Structure 1
Amino acid sequence: MTTPGISRLSAGLMLLLLAGCQQQSAKTLPAAELAVKPQWLAGDHHVHTHYSVKWDNSVFPPKPILGGDAKYSIEHNARMAAAFGLRWMVITDHGGPNRARLALEQAYPELLASRAALPQILQFYGMEFDVPGNSPGGRHASLIMPKTPTEAQQLFQIESRFNGRQGVPPGPEKAEDSFMLKALQAMAALPDTPLLLVNHPARLAKGLRQYFKVTPKQLRDWQDTAPGVVIGMSGAEGHQAATLNPDGSSKAGGIRGEYPDHPTYGGYDQMTARLGGVWDSLLAEGRRWWVTGVSDSHGHYTDGWADFWPGQYAKTYVLAQQDYASIFAALKAGKIFVTTGDLISALDLTVAVKGAAQGVGAGETLKVKANDELVLRLSFRDPDAPNGGGFNPQVARIDLIRGLITSTAANGQAGDQSRAADRNNDEAPATKVSQRWYAGDWRIQSDGSAMLEWPLGRINQSQYLRLRGTNQRDELEPAPDQPGENPWHDLWFYSNPVYLQLSAN
């Protein structure tokens, strides 16, 4: 879907106006309530700074070129993230011959200073991990450290030993896929276990279902090796502003997400967006596999780069208190939804036994009996305000997606049956859109939120439910993104799943 460019004042002026509005909104949030009651808090777990360096290989050892592959300081990124409504972010600079030392001695002290200067936005320490294996340059993951006094030393230990591009040159063992499994085992053995989400998994795919660099088998292998570390993948990809010129007009031939051979779908990677595809095949095994949205910000499009500011376009929301431990735990537990273009700012999907006051939400499991009547309760907020592009989009449709869990899961992770299945399986044929709702189907409450309740009936097999919504009323499945497409006109959100476990008794 190709649409005209953005009509607006100068990009700089619009950003300043939006930043002022967002900062004013952040100041009015009730601090005491944020500290106690879990709320939907927006964040971004894939942000680059000027410590994503390039390397001068004319000298030995190679010398880092600060700002070589990303433009802004940590504090500048944090200020813009806060201006666009984020409450947390993760610094994820990428590696090279001796980036582990650079990160420990220079980047980490700058992060500490940024935390002190901007305590209103929680800033996690992490990196874009270069996955070891054959041609690791196309395989990246967000590695997120829990905030502890030894976070920098623990990340240095992992990066210096296992990062695929670390070393002058990297050791030959880093060309083996098995070395990634050793890295994950080392991560899982750290005193403070990190989280890992696979970045842009199908960016280098040669076509639909023609995966390259990252395969469904690898996703399964990685999670089975370290189920407490590997929790999912980014769905809404970065570099969405690659279709925009610095003045905001559409760039002919620009490709959303910079996917060279096969496009994104509504701004989402095909591993997330294809109904009954890779994501659903993982969920059908009972896996706890979450999807998120990121900026992958290196430099803003108004400066001639391909990115939005953190939080300007894609947001990952977690249901948490405003503290590091709560946000980290919510990410791990899958209390997450992702949206683009500020289409929504809250999304509560709850499934309960009919008549019960309490149910379960995203990332959780409801144990039910065969004769239980189930009900779905949905609440969401469509913010009545301009988004980061100056538009005020409306939710036109929400889809309820149901899939069967076809293999036994143990302890919330894949069990023996899924281990024996086709490791490269990328289909869940039982996954369907079971219901579509339109604007007239939900009711607006006095607080501005929208609500609906829907009967689910009884189930005869364990299953999962997830939601997908869009401003495209009649685009029943997200269409392949076209060159030059304006990302602000094609917006989607995704919930993470709720699991229904059928009990024998």
Structure 2
Amino acid sequence: MTAMAAFIIALSYGCSDTNNNRPVESKPTAPPAPAPEITGKWTKGDFHVHTVESDDAQDKLSVVLDEALLRYDLDWMALSNHLRLSKRDHDGVDLINGPLPFSLAMAQYEIPAVREMQAGGRYANKLIFSTFEWDMPTHDHINVGIFTGSPLSTSLDAAKQFEYYFTNRVASQFDSDDVARWDAAGTRAFTTHEDAVKAITWLRDNYPDTSYALINHPSRNNGKWSAADYRAFNDVAPNIVFAMEGMIGGQMEPDRGSYTTAYVDANRKNRVYGGVDYTVAQVGGVWDALLGDGRRFWNVGNSDHHFKIRGPYSSSYFPGEYARTYIWVDDKYTGVKGVLEGLRSGKMFSVYGDLINALDFHIGGDTTTTDMGGELKAKAGDTVSITIRFKSPDRNNYQYPIDSGISVNARPTVDHIDLIAGDVTPRAAPGTPNYSKDTNDSTRVIATFTAADWKLDKDGYNTITYKYVATTNQYFRLRGTNLGMNVPGATENGNPLPDQKTDVTQNDARFNAINARNYNNLWFYSNPVFVTVGS
């Protein structure tokens, strides 16, 4: 889905001259460089999915896979049950011999069940891989994927060793020969921040190119993460700790995202904004502080599925039903390798409620262009062109009443898109005040585009081009919404407001109110593109 420059309509906008991003008038330029050959495809998936093998989840494996891969047509999915004691098998049957460490339950039940179903052809051309959600000491949850082999697949031995080293599981629950081997190779560590660092270091030292650690719902619990923590873990293993779940799951909870911290101003950093974690939703906040360091640190969107509705309770949409992460997978990679390399590349975007289902966001100079996650090198004074192309589907999954099969049949419509920019400055050193700084004061919305600004191109994309003169190192990112600039209770001057609890007494009415809240407050966020300016 690389843009064809010949079909781009150049527009000029009367935006304020802030942050040195001065729009320039269109003028004749040299013929554009030929569009690069397309060597991959967009895929959609979810990194954070639970089944009944997690103690707080209710759906068996086959139900989750059917919903995610068949009904909602995801291309890939990471199963990520809790790295705790597992009391049930993949069908929800209590284990006869009592709870197992999850790494053992994964090996004995989850992975064999997936292989059996795939062998039967039920999920042909779909990628399913097993990871786990770890209770990181002194912090919060992190999804860990560890892979080996060719083609890559989940390393069961590594999962067992990780659980033994970095949780408080009883040694007698593991094979005695394994324990002897692990004890000879290292020591257990599962209590302090330093132990958390040791775990990430272990991943780096043993699986430097075939593992990841994705930070989940980062602001859900007060005091679990600081800006210095993000920087420190990224410094330890930039190829492993490089992404967070800014577009969180748990969207069917009355407290959107299950962010239950008291609704007071003091907790505004522990709230969600349009369903999005504060770290990502706040312009000039934590994410922008990391990008301002020049860190390649990405945002993803997940379901965090546990169950949708059970009795008087509601929790999470099914994978692919409401939240999706789109990742570009290069043709030279297949299977888990493709998703892992796509995730690392940063060429991806995340969306709620299918507000968009295609996005091409790239930045070009005189001879080259670069996509999300990439870096364009320019000279001071160069005119740089920012291109945004997007599509929306004819309808999304909004049903009323909820789960009735009756589609609302309302096409999701983008009201406006914000182009956000911030300066990239020299990276702060550990121990200095800037290492703990959780803001980027240079970040701001430099342009806002509405339907009056985009044109439909021959490929069916809504297309915008914005030009500016490069003067300093910067990054650019996008957010878009179906909401207007000032919607009571939802937006103020284009910025999302904190979501409020849906407090309706009657169960069915509450479920419908939650669903309506979510589908009437949709957002997408792109990953950034960097521009580095030389002399």
Same topology, TM > 0.5: yes
Instruction: State the shift of 1:382 in Å.
Output: 1.1
Q: C-alpha separation between the residues in 2 aligned to 1:80 and 1:379?
A: 30
1:305 corresponds to: 314
Q: What's the TM-score, normalizing by structure 2?
A: 0.75
Q: Give yes or no for contact 1:231–1:289 (8 Å, CA) kept in 2.
A: yes
Q: Give yes or no for contact 2:165–2:189 (8 Å, CA) kept in 1.
A: no
1:175 corresponds to: 191
Indicate yes or no: 2:280 matched with 1:272.
yes
1:430 corresponds to: 442
**Number of equivalent positions:** 422
Instruction: State the shift of 1:181 in Å.
Output: 1.0
2:416 alignment partner AA: R
Instruction: State the shift of 1:302 in Å.
Output: 6.1
Q: Give yes or no for contact 1:99–1:166 (8 Å, CA) kept in 2.
A: no
Q: Give yes or no for contact 1:154–1:190 (8 Å, CA) kept in 2.
A: no
Q: C-alpha separation between the residues in 2 aligned to 1:187 and 1:202?
A: 24
201, 204, 215: which one pairs with 1:188?
204
Q: Give yes or no for contact 1:350–1:359 (8 Å, CA) kept in 2.
A: yes
Instruction: State the shift of 1:384 in Å.
Output: 1.6
118, 121, 135: which one pairs with 2:123?
118
Instruction: State the shift of 1:39 in Å.
Output: 2.2
2:497 corresponds to: 479
Q: CA RMSD in A?
A: 2.2
Q: Give yes or no for contact 2:256–2:499 (8 Å, CA) kept in 1.
A: yes
1:88 corresponds to: 76
- Provide closer, same or farther for how the CA distance between residues 145 and 388 of structure 1 changes in structure 2, counting only shifts above 3 A: farther
1:500 corresponds to: 531
333, 340, 363: which one pairs with 2:345?
333
- Give SS of 1:279's match: helix
The gaps in structure 1 that reach 5 residues or longer are 1-35, 54-68, 206-211, 243-253, 409-415
The equivalences for 1:441-452 within 5 A come to 441-452=453-464
Q: Give yes or no for contact 1:100–1:166 (8 Å, CA) kept in 2.
A: no
Indicate yes or no: 2:142 matched with 1:141.
yes
Q: C-alpha separation between the residues in 2 aligned to 1:85 and 1:473?
A: 30
1:466 corresponds to: 477
- Provide closer, same or farther for how the CA distance between residues 76 and 288 of structure 1 changes in structure 2, counting only shifts above 3 A: same
214, 220, 225: which one pairs with 1:197?
214
2:457 alignment partner AA: Q
Q: C-alpha separation between the residues in 2 aligned to 1:493 and 1:479?
A: 15
Indicate yes or no: 2:258 matched with 1:258.
yes
Q: C-alpha separation between the residues in 1 aligned to 2:189 and 2:282?
A: 35
1:233 alignment partner AA: M
Return the index of the structure with the highest Cα Rg: 2
Instruction: State the shift of 1:276 in Å.
Output: 0.3
207, 210, 225: which one pairs with 1:214?
225
Q: Give yes or no for contact 1:362–1:498 (8 Å, CA) kept in 2.
A: yes
Instruction: State the shift of 1:108 in Å.
Output: 2.2
Q: C-alpha separation between the residues in 2 aligned to 1:483 and 1:465?
A: 32
The equivalences for 1:401-420 within 5 A come to 401-408=420-427, 417=429, 420=432
311, 320, 324: which one pairs with 2:329?
320
Instruction: State the shift of 1:153 in Å.
Output: 2.0
107, 111, 122: which one pairs with 2:110?
107
Indicate yes or no: 2:61 matched with 1:70.
no
Q: C-alpha separation between the residues in 2 aligned to 1:277 and 1:367?
A: 25
295, 303, 310: which one pairs with 2:303?
295
- Give SS of 1:186's match: helix
Indicate yes or no: 2:156 matched with 1:152.
yes
1:140 alignment partner AA: H
The gaps in structure 2 that reach 5 residues or longer are 1-37, 86-100, 174-186, 262-269, 400-406, 486-490, 503-513
- Give SS of 1:360's match: strand
- Provide closer, same or farther for how the CA distance between residues 468 and 165 of structure 1 changes in structure 2, counting only shifts above 3 A: farther
Q: What's the TM-score, normalizing by structure 1?
A: 0.79
1:105 alignment partner AA: Q
Q: C-alpha separation between the residues in 2 aligned to 1:73 and 1:175?
A: 32
Q: Give yes or no for contact 2:302–2:323 (8 Å, CA) kept in 1.
A: yes
> Residues 154-179 of structure 1, C-alpha deviation per residue, up to 9 Å, x if partnerless?
222222212x4534799994221101
- Provide closer, same or farther for how the CA distance between residues 110 and 123 of structure 1 changes in structure 2, counting only shifts above 3 A: same
Higher mean alpha-carbon deviation, 293-302 vs 314-323, is at 314-323
2:234 corresponds to: 223
- Provide closer, same or farther for how the CA distance between residues 418 and 333 of structure 1 changes in structure 2, counting only shifts above 3 A: farther
Instruction: State the shift of 1:273 in Å.
Output: 0.6
- Provide closer, same or farther for how the CA distance between residues 70 and 395 of structure 1 changes in structure 2, counting only shifts above 3 A: same
2:42 corresponds to: 40
Q: C-alpha separation between the residues in 1 aligned to 2:153 and 2:387?
A: 41
Q: C-alpha separation between the residues in 2 aligned to 1:103 and 1:160?
A: 14
1:157 alignment partner AA: Q
Q: C-alpha separation between the residues in 1 aligned to 2:164 and 2:293?
A: 34
Indicate yes or no: 2:408 matched with 1:376.
no
